[in-house]
């Protein structure tokens, strides 16, 4: 069974982990990788519009701090997984070279080069590990579809900051916090849902630690999705467009409130007063 991985950048640890696992998984052929170029003015503009100055923090954490982010050092995230799986410091381009996998660099995943690779390879499924919104031609060229891991419960919480929004709205118990694996559709996070894996709150959790604990769950969920396609045991549950609500980037003052809500829940987990 053929898989193509769409990656946000050449050094994406999530994409490296997914590629590494595809290479080791019996019956799965990593047939191509599409990588977005890191220096892409259009992308910087759109991410700056979406995230504002928060983008600088993301760049600093992802490209400089890496696994040394002091707030999350004791948790296992993508960086630690990549290291554990022998992929530390291995960009996707090197991985592709070493294994003879076709790799294309694009400005946008919807570019013609990306489509050409998908049409040439004809994958059974595409694993999306980040990198913007996908348009119809890419979604349709992807065999069974494009798998995406979403850091919140679907269909209730679509969009951005969906770890924080259920905390703020007092819905951390039900529908809960966790990772939803789904096929991508034209609308944001509206495609058929394959599974939902809960991520429990633990004593002492802060937002950064909690978010980092989502990462191994995302990697496992993606591999489970690929296996389900390989073994022909997909049971997608379609979503109606009006079943959920779309959320956007949370204002810092509301993020602070979500932090306080999490602190209370984490204190309750440890059985101690906040």
Partner 1 sequence: MKERLRDGLGPRVGSLLERLERGVTRDDHLATVARIVARPDLLETLPVEARPIAACLLGEGRRLLAGEPPRGAAPDVPASVPSPEAFREAARRRGPYESGGGMEACHLAGLLRLPDERSGAPPQGPLPEPGAEAERAGPPAREVAALNASLAVDGPDAEHVSELVAQARALPARRWFLRRGTCYGTGHLLLALLRVVPGPLAPYTREVCDRLVRHVEIRRRGALAFRPEGLPDGSAPAVERLRFAVALATAARCFGDLRYLNTALKLNDWHRRRLLPGRRSGTDSLAALHYVVSIARQESALREGLAP
Could you list the residues that contact partner 1 (CB under 8 A)? 49, 52-54, 56-57, 60, 63-66, 68, 168-169, 245-254, 257
The minimum distance between CB 254 and partner 1, in angstroms, equals 6
**Residues in CB range of 270: below 8 A, 6 or more apart:** 203, 204
Residue closer to partner 1 (CB basis): 172 or 223: 172
C-alpha angle 121-220-76 in degrees, rounded to nearest 5: 125
The minimum distance between CB 46 and partner 1, in angstroms, equals 10
- What is the rounded (10 degree) CA torsion for 182, 185, 188, 191? -40
Residue closer to partner 1 (CB basis): 54 or 94: 54
- CA separation for the pair 204, 274 (Å, rounded): 10
The minimum distance between CB 243 and partner 1, in angstroms, equals 14
Structure tokens at 175: 């529908």
Residue closer to partner 1 (CB basis): 124 or 161: 161
The minimum distance between CB 123 and partner 1, in angstroms, equals 30
Q: Across the chain, how many H-helices and E-strands are there?
A: 10, 9
- CA separation for the pair 63, 50 (Å, rounded): 19
The minimum distance between CB 233 and partner 1, in angstroms, equals 36
Residue closer to partner 1 (CB basis): 69 or 124: 69
The answer to whether the peptide bond before residue 47 is cis (omega within 30 degrees of 0) is: no
Residue closer to partner 1 (CB basis): 23 or 257: 257
Residue closer to partner 1 (CB basis): 23 or 65: 65
Going by C-alpha positions, the residue among 18, 8, 4, 15 that lies closest to residue 224 is 18
The minimum distance between CB 212 and partner 1, in angstroms, equals 17
Strands 245-247 and 157-159 come out as parallel
Strand partners, 125: 3
Burial of 170 (0-12, 13-18, 19+ CB in 10 A): exposed
Residue closer to partner 1 (CB basis): 54 or 230: 54
The minimum distance between CB 260 and partner 1, in angstroms, equals 8
């Amino acid at each position: 069974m053929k898989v193509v991985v769409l990656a946000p950048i050449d050094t994406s640890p999530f994409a490296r982990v997914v590629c590494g696992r595809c290479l080791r998984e019996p019956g799965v052929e990593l047939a191509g990788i599409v990588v977005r170029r890191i220096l892409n003015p259009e992308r910087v503009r759109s991410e700056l519009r979406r995230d504002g100055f928060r983008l600088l923090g993301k760049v600093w954490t992802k490209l400089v701090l890496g696994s040394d982010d002091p707030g999350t050092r004791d948790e296992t995230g993508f960086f630690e997984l990549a290291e554990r799986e022998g992929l530390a410091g291995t960009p996707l381009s090197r991985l592709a070279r070493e294994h003879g996998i076709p790799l294309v660099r694009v400005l946008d995943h919807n570019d013609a080069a990306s489509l050409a690779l998908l049409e040439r390879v004809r994958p059974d499924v595409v694993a999306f590990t980040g990198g913007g919104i996908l348009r119809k031609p890419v979604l349709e060229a992807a065999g069974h579809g494009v798998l995406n891991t979403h850091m919140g419960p679907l269909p209730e919480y679509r969009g951005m900051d969906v770890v924080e929004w259920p905390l703020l709205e007092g819905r951390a118990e039900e529908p809960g916090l966790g990772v939803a694996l789904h096929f991508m559709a034209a609308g944001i996070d509206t495609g058929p849902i394959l599974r939902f894996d809960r991520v429990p709150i633990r004593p002492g959790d802060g937002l950064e630690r909690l978010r980092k604990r989502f990462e191994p769950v995302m990697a496992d969920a993606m591999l489970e999705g690929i296996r389900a396609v390989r073994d022909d045991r997909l049971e997608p549950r379609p979503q109606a467009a009006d079943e959920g609500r779309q959320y956007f980037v949370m204002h810092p003052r509301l993020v602070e409130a979500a932090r306080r809500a999490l602190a209370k829940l984490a204190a309750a987990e440890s059985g101690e007063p906040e």
